[in-house]
Amino acid sequence: MTPLQTPEPYDPVLHPPLQPLPGHKSGSILERALRRGWFAITAELNPPDSADPRDVLKAAEPLKAVADAINATDASGANCHMSSMGICSILSRAGMGIVLQISCRDRNRIAIQGDVLGAAAMGVGNILCLTGDGVGVGDQPGAKPVFDFDCMSLLRTLKTMRDEGQFLSGRKLSTPPDIFLGAAENPCIPPYEYRAARLEKKVRAGADFIQTNYIFDVERFRTFMNQVRDMGLDKKVFILAGVGPLASAKTARWMRANVPGIHIPDTIIDRLERAAKPAEEGKKLCIDIIGQVREIEGVAGVHIMAYRREHLVGEIIEESGILKERLAAKGAPNPTPSA
């Protein structure tokens, strides 16, 4: 294996993590974009089943030009892939903005708090705290589910590490991690009436930003956002709506039946079914949904999950016109994470 070639090898001494701006919690580019009022873009990276770092860089290639941060998933769907920490180490060396995803399913409080320090030292500015899907839906259903934390106690613990400079054990940190804390929300699944209350609890626990699960039912999302605004939560947390292109009606049906927490209305599946080119229609649908969620007050950005369709992310962003508007409105260059 030839050594990894990156445009600018990351050296934690020569290139320390970006310093937080005044009033900011991290040096994260995502946080800067959000606090400037820009419509932020994050994108999920499809983690390789490989030990070759080039596979990670290849997967990041179509995302890095358009995303303020790339999400490194932590065995999502309880399927084993390269770890989120491994992906972060490669992407941070290449100078990209990253969201480290931490699921409570696989590691206990000792492992997680240690990983957070390691990640922050590598220059990871954003951490997404997740409960995690049950082990039963993954490729190794016999694994032991850990769930030492839940997403809320994890958020509060990381907030304690950052703001109080302590582990949960009370031991002091000589340098606390400067991290922008994220959490997920799934507005389109039951119990709908309590999803906004759950979001409020995540904000109390310490969430600075939210990435939602897939929004295919814009009406339901709009109702959720109405509640969110009524509670004033859109002023306390940045909400990024989760979107993604569907490949076909068949994929949509499969996802709906097999992936926990995905709600796809029949109207969407019908639209894909009727389309002459379902993949093209799936992309168009994604762009339509981006257009619709952008109109909703309180939505601060989009989170694109294009599983096995990463090549489309550039086109989706391009055609949705987010970056063009950002340039026009601010007269400033896009703060690309690859810069």
Partner 1 sequence: MYAVRRFAVRHSRFVERFYQSFERVIISLDPIFRRIGYGRLEKPVAFTEKVVKGFLFDCKMCGQCVLSSTGMSCPMNCPKTLRNGPCGGVREGGFCEVKPEMRCVWVDAWDGASRMNEGAERIKIVQPPVDRALEGSSAWLRVAREKAEAHSSVPANTGKQTIADAFKRAREFEPASAPLASEPKTASTTPERLK
Distance of CA 51 to the CA centre of its chain: 23
Q: How far apart are CB 40 and partner 1 at their closest, in Å?
A: 21
Q: Does 338 bind partner 1 (CB under 8 A)?
A: no
Q: Does 229 bind partner 1 (CB under 8 A)?
A: no
Q: How far is 238 from 208, CA to CA, in rounded Å?
A: 7
267: nearest Cα among 279, 275, 259: 275
CA angle 38, 44, 50 (to 5 degrees): 150
Q: Does 104 bind partner 1 (CB under 8 A)?
A: yes
Q: How far apart are CB 259 and partner 1 at their closest, in Å?
A: 9
3-state secondary structure of 128: strand
Exactly one of 45, 60, 87, 152 binds partner 1 (CB under 8 A); which one? 152
Per CB under 8 A, which region of 46-54, 58-66, 178-186, 273-281 contacts partner 1?
178-186
Q: Does 76 bind partner 1 (CB under 8 A)?
A: no
Q: How far apart are CB 330 and partner 1 at their closest, in Å?
A: 34
DSSP symbol at 164 = I
DSSP symbol at 22 = T
Q: Where do runs of H (alpha helix) occur along 123-164?
A: 151-159
Fill in the per-residue mask, 115 to 134: x = in contact with partner 1 (CB under 8 A), - = not in contact: ----------------xxxx
204: nearest Cα among 173, 234, 175, 236: 236
At position 95, the amino acid (one-letter code) is: G
Indicate the helix (H) or strand (E) that contains 303.
Answer: strand 299-304
Q: Does 189 bind partner 1 (CB under 8 A)?
A: yes
57: nearest Cα among 339, 338, 267, 301: 338
Exactly one of 20, 121, 173, 201 binds partner 1 (CB under 8 A); which one? 201
Q: Does 205 bind partner 1 (CB under 8 A)?
A: yes
Distance of CA 17 to the CA centre of its chain: 20
Exactly one of 55, 150, 288, 319 binds partner 1 (CB under 8 A); which one? 150
Distances 303 to 57, 247, 251, 278 between C-alpha atoms, Å: 20, 18, 20, 22
Exactly one of 12, 16, 145, 232 binds partner 1 (CB under 8 A); which one? 145
215: nearest Cα among 236, 193, 187: 187
Per CB under 8 A, which region of 34-42, 56-64, 104-112, 233-241 contacts partner 1?
104-112
Fill in the per-residue mask, 234 to 273: x = in contact with partner 1 (CB under 8 A), - = not in contact: --------------------------xx------------
71: nearest Cα among 4, 151, 112, 125: 125
Q: Does 16 bind partner 1 (CB under 8 A)?
A: no
Per CB under 8 A, which region of 56-64, 119-127, 154-162, 264-272 contacts partner 1?
154-162
Nearer to partner 1, 6 or 153 (CB): 153
Q: Does 185 bind partner 1 (CB under 8 A)?
A: yes
Contacting positions for partner 1 (CB under 8 A) = 104-105, 109, 131-134, 136-137, 145, 147-153, 156-157, 159-160, 164, 166-171, 184-186, 189-191, 194, 197-198, 200-201, 204-205, 213, 260-261
